[in-house]
Amino acid sequence: MSFRKQLADTLEKAFIKAKEKGLMGDANLPEITIERPAKPEHGDFASSLPLKLARLTGMKPMDIAETLIQNIESAKDVEQITPAKPGFINFTVSKEWLNKQVDVICKEGEDYGNVKLGNQKVQIEFVSGNPTGPLHVGHGRGAVLGSTLANVLKAAGYKVFTEYYVNDAGSQLEAFHQSLFARYQQALGKEAEIPGNGYHGNYMIDLAKEIVEKYKDKFLQMPPEKGVAEIGKVGIEMVMSMIKEDLGILGVEFDEWFSEQSLFKSGQFDKTMKMLKDGNYITERENATWFTSSTMGDDRDNVLIRSDGTPTYFASDIAYHYNKFVSRKFANVIDIWGADHQGHVSRMKVVMNALGLDPERLEIIICQLVTLRRGQEVVKISKRSGDIISLREVLDEVGPDACRFFFLSRSADSQMDFDLELAIKQSADNPVYYVQYAHARIASILKNAAEKCLDYEDGRVTLLTSEPELTLIRQMVRISEVIETVATTHEPHHLPFYAQELATVFHSFYKQCRVISDDADMSCARLKLVKAAQIVLARTLHLMGMTAPDSM
């Protein structure tokens, strides 16, 4: 049981006891929340329960706080319980409990901080960029968000399944095939024109050159239609290989690369469309097939099958989500999409009802845009190609750790500035360097201890009584709360903030407390504390998908 849950149970028992004495009138117990006070002098935890009860009972909040405190029979590991204006109850944990946590952290290692929130089967689908070009920075932000959220949900007990949806069907593929075939012809000295709806990026020229080197004029020897189709297959494979390589460098892996084409080959698409038709959710007009989403609360109807007989992206997405929830039986699904998909959210929620599914089981997180900067200068154009900057270029410039930290540093619904200059700066101004340097500093301390043959395994943690020591422990034990918060809110940006706070507290402790001294007992106690700090800091970095370096 978490400490916050333990305190909530304590307050619940106190309320029940007070009500039995007739001190709470007819009020029912509202939800009890336990938070961290804004100021350390207010204790370790606080509850606003008296303020909530004041609205229900008509009593003064401070009187309620006093009454509840008087009816607390026992509060394990709590040193002090005090009322605070305008109507809070503050809790200060005991030094003995804090000391014990150092041993707990050292014993549990990388499992420390795990919480048990559920064991449901959860799917997270993210990135899912079209296989028609390299990933851009926006894809990178979604990739880091999705993979970090997967790490945290696993730490909270969920069965997590990560997936990349490969859009390998539809009109954009045909445009890609035609564009690549034209570039291929140009690479062979032939005249050819890129389709108006085609792909004009310089990466297409590079792809064509690679294909010429490997296949020569093989595709020109085929009938044009077959040549376009065959070179298209080769091009898609090459792009997907680039995408997988880029994501690998970023530290992102998937349990499944799901092909859109499989929905049509398996008959799942037709089955889903028939289900909608049988439910009277489909209408025919203007030579097209429409989903009547306007009758279910959406602002307009949406096309499923175009007048030329080709399905829309929306139609495929319906079949894909039917596959997720019904065929593969995921309890919950989290989709992480780019800002350009914002308008797609409401109709997907509507379609859940049409499929007989609870819309609450589907969560869609929209990642807002990323602006690249070098200091004050906005960076828009790739130095290499003159096109939009790819994710790989940013990875090559600042490295995967800086990418992951910066992409996580703002909530997904906020637009963010990514300062490439700051990301490679080796100073405390760079939060990535600052946090990783804390871990490297710890590694150096422990290496020094090993060289001096100091065995701190049996260090007496009861010696850790100074304020810098206790403040560090207080910060370390917060990791379970951070994991719980991220797993509940699906907002991983809490992790980099926590990492910076933990690094700050450790650096402060290090300046105020000499770890290795002539006092052997104190040295071993503090070395054990330092080892525990290393475990928690490394755990935080690993949850974010980052490395925990031993040197900088």
How do residues 464-493 score in pLDDT, each as one tens digit? 999 999 999 999 999 999 999 999 999 999
433 and 534 share a domain? Answer: yes
Mean pLDDT of 231-248: 97
Band (pLDDT 50/70/90 cuts) for residue 294 is: confident
Residue 459 near residue 524, CB atoms below 8 Å: yes
Note the pLDDT of residue 217. 95
How do residues 382-396 score in pLDDT, each as one tens digit? 666 667 889 999 999
Mean pLDDT of 251-278: 96
Non-local CB neighbours of 38 within 8 Å, separated by 6+ positions:
none
Q: How many CB atoms lie within 10 A of CB 313?
A: 15
188 and 82 share a domain? Answer: no
How do residues 409-443 score in pLDDT, each as one tens digit? 999 999 999 999 999 999 999 999 999 999 999 99
Percent of the chain with pLDDT over 70: 99
In this predicted structure, the answer to whether residue 271 has a pLDDT above a threshold of 90 is: yes
How do residues 172-217 score in pLDDT, each as one tens digit? 899 999 999 999 999 999 999 999 889 988 999 999 999 999 999 9
389 domain-assigned: no
Mean pLDDT of 370-382: 88
Q: What CATH number is given to the structural domain containing 536?
A: 1.10.730.10
Q: What CATH number is given to the structural domain containing 84?
A: 3.30.1360.70
Mean pLDDT taken over the chain: 94
Note the pLDDT of residue 1. 64
Mean pLDDT of 23-47: 92
Domain boundary among 93, 113, 136: 93
How do residues 498-546 score in pLDDT, each as one tens digit? 999 999 999 999 999 999 999 999 999 999 999 999 999 999 999 999 9
Band (pLDDT 50/70/90 cuts) for residue 75 is: confident
The beta strands (E) that lie in 302-379 are given as: 302-305, 332-338, 362-367, 370-374, 377-379
Band (pLDDT 50/70/90 cuts) for residue 296 is: confident
> How close are the terminal C-alpha atoms of the chain, in Å?
38
Residue 423 near residue 398, CB atoms below 8 Å: yes
Domain boundary among 48, 74, 93: 93
Number of domains in the chain: 3
Note the pLDDT of residue 172. 87
What gap in Å lies between CA 350 and CA 352, rounded to an integer?
5
What gap in Å lies between CA 336 and CA 403, rounded to an integer?
18
334 domain-assigned: no
Note the pLDDT of residue 386. 63
89 and 181 share a domain? Answer: no
pTM, 2 dp: 0.94
482 domain-assigned: yes
Q: Which of 77-81, 106-110, 167-171, 326-330 has the lowest mean pLDDT?
A: 167-171
260 domain-assigned: no
10 domain-assigned: yes
Mean pLDDT of 147-152: 98
Domain boundary among 58, 93, 128: 93
Non-local CB neighbours of 467 within 8 Å, separated by 6+ positions:
none
7 domain-assigned: yes
Non-local CB neighbours of 273 within 8 Å, separated by 6+ positions:
282, 289, 304, 305, 315, 319
Please give the order of strands across the beta sheet that includes 362-367.
Answer: 256-259, 159-166, 121-125, 332-338, 362-367
Residue 404 near residue 546, CB atoms below 8 Å: yes
Note the pLDDT of residue 171. 83
433 domain-assigned: yes
In this predicted structure, the answer to whether residue 159 has a pLDDT above a threshold of 80 is: yes
Band (pLDDT 50/70/90 cuts) for residue 266 is: very high
442 and 538 share a domain? Answer: yes
Query: Domain of 182?
Result: 171-250
367 domain-assigned: no
- Nearest CA to 490 out of 256, 156, 120, 252 is that of 156
